[in-house]
């Protein structure tokens, strides 16, 4: 079904019967953090000597950024309607059909290594049962970008149950910095491996977009909450402090994370506090040139997330090329650990409003030492992540081959 290009060096390894990896990457998103993440990672995976073949499975409406190593095999992740019920039903359909398409593909594919960059948790009770029939043929792994899955569904019980089912088929799970203690993470069954989250490269800004944004911002200092709009990002708490901090505007930029997210309640809150004119809403997916424009207009990145957020957050690595100071909440997460370790800004107790305000003023009025960002750059390379993933795959594949 898929065709791959093979380098002379890799062909030589095959002739010498060296261990060679064939990797299929599953990514059901056509936009957002996971989509950007896997393309940066794939650029390094294809250059690993032990990787013979790699294919990225994407939705039919995706851009093919790496056409030689990508296939529009999955259902489109967008439906052309504003009807909320239809959109939710279509999401449910995708959650079942895409794993079934993957299952059918794996049946027809020779032994390989499957990497879920994102997964369909809702359908796991059914699909995990099917995938278990393929475990003698394939090695299964996942990247846990958001490792706390307790609130993924409206029912905590069903969220945990579906996650237990999904993890029951996994051989290796990769995570960023911190893995929370959860019943569905059984270290006796699954091998867990920590990997850094790579840094997204900077690009030239869109001058028209940047100048338009600057005109709207005026001479105000700028706080930015960037990334897919989701309630865990604590917009209301930042909006509530705006009346108490002068000469500051807030940019909220990103697409809605899913069909259940609405921003109306936050806009009503801003109006009730009289700060609606100090908030700039950019509710859409932003192209790299627009992201660069937003970052260049930003003074402080705000990542003041709720306790339920356990990931390192790829948004941190959007700020990284611009070396902006960051304010994060003091919660148990990979993000907090990284900011603390490399001194990338301020860590503030989640419910301490006075500390939050003073931290903002301190970062605005004092020069920020960028040394920590340079140290973080050395650690968080895509090449490092790809090497760890491929070496883990190689090790697991050898054990797998010994067993069978």
Torsion 78-82-84-86 (CA) sign: negative
Say whether 134 sits in a helix, a strand or coil.
helix
What does the alpha-carbon distance between residue 160 and residue 175 come to, in Å, rounded to a whole number? Answer: 18
Average pLDDT over residues 253-281: 90
Asked if 256 contacts 281 with a C-beta cutoff of 8 angstroms, the reply is no
pLDDT for 292 equals 96
Give the highest mean pLDDT range of 3-7, 68-72, 294-298, 305-309. 294-298
Tokens of 48: 């690993």
pLDDT at 10 exceeding the cut of 50: no
What does the alpha-carbon distance between residue 345 and residue 338 come to, in Å, rounded to a whole number? Answer: 10
Q: What DSSP state is assigned to residue 75?
A: P
| CA end-to-end span of the chain | 26
**CATH 3.40.50.720 assigned to 8-198+381-398:** no
Cβ burial, residue 5 (10 Å; 0-12/13-18/19+): exposed
Which strands form 248-253's sheet, in the order they lie side by side? Answer: 279-282, 248-253, 221-226, 300-303, 326-329, 345-348
Asked if 178 contacts 337 with a C-beta cutoff of 8 angstroms, the reply is yes
What does the alpha-carbon distance between residue 114 and residue 119 come to, in Å, rounded to a whole number? Answer: 12
Q: What percent of the chain has pLDDT over 70?
A: 91
pLDDT at 6 exceeding the cut of 60: no
Tokens of 307: 């306790």
Residue ranges, CATH 3.40.50.2000, the chain: 8-198+381-398, 207-379
pLDDT at 393 exceeding the cut of 90: no
pTM above 0.85, yes or no: no
Q: Which fold has domain 207-379?
A: Rossmann fold (3.40.50)
Average pLDDT over residues 197-222: 93
Within a 10 A sphere around the Cβ of 368, how many other Cβ atoms? 19
């Amino acid at each position: 079904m898929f065709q791959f290009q093979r380098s002379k060096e890799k062909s030589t390894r095959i002739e010498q019967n060296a261990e060679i990896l064939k990797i299929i990457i599953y990514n059901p998103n056509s936009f957002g953090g996971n989509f950007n993440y896997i393309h940066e990672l794939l650029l390094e995976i294809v250059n690993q000597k032990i990787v013979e073949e790699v294919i990225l499975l994407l939705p039919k409406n995706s851009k093919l950024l790496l056409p030689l190593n990508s296939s529009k095999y999955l259902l489109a992740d967008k439906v052309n309607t504003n009807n909320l019920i239809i959109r939710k039903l279509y999401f449910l359909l995708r959650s079942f059909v895409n794993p079934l398409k993957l299952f059918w593909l794996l049946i027809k594919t020779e032994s390989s290594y499957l990497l879920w960059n994102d997964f369909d948790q809702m359908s796991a009770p059914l699909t995990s049962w099917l995938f278990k029939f393929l475990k003698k043929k394939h090695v299964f792994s996942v990247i846990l970008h958001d490792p706390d899955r307790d609130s993924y569904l409206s029912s905590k019980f069903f969220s945990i149950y579906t996650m237990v089912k999904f993890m029951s088929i996994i051989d290796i799970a990769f995570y960023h910095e911190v893995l929370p203690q959860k019943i569905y993470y059984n270290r006796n069954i699954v091998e867990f491996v920590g990997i850094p989250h790579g840094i997204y490269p900077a690009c030239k800004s869109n001058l028209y977009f940047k100048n338009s944004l600057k005109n709207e911002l005026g001479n105000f200092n700028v706080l930015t909450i960037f990334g897919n709009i989701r309630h865990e990002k604590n917009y209301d708490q930042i909006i509530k402090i705006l009346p108490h901090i002068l000469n500051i505007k807030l940019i909220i930029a990103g697409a809605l994370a899913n069909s259940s997210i609405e921003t109306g309640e936050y806009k009503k809150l801003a109006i009730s506090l009289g700060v609606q004119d100090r908030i700039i809403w950019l509710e859409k997916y932003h192209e790299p040139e627009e992201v660069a424009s937003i970052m260049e207009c930003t003074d402080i990145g705000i990542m003041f997330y709720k306790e339920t957020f356990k990931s390192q957050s790829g948004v941190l690595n959007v700020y990284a090329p611009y070396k902006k100071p960051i304010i994060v909440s003091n919660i148990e997460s990979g993000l907090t650990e990284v900011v603390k370790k490399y001194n990338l800004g301020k860590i503030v107790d989640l419910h301490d409003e006075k500390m939050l305000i003073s931290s903002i003023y301190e970062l605005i009025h004092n020069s920020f030492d960028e040394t920590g960002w340079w140290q973080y750059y050395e650690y968080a390379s895509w090449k490092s992540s790809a090497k760890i993933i491929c070496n883990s795959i190689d090790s697991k594949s050898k054990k797998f081959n010994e067993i069978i």
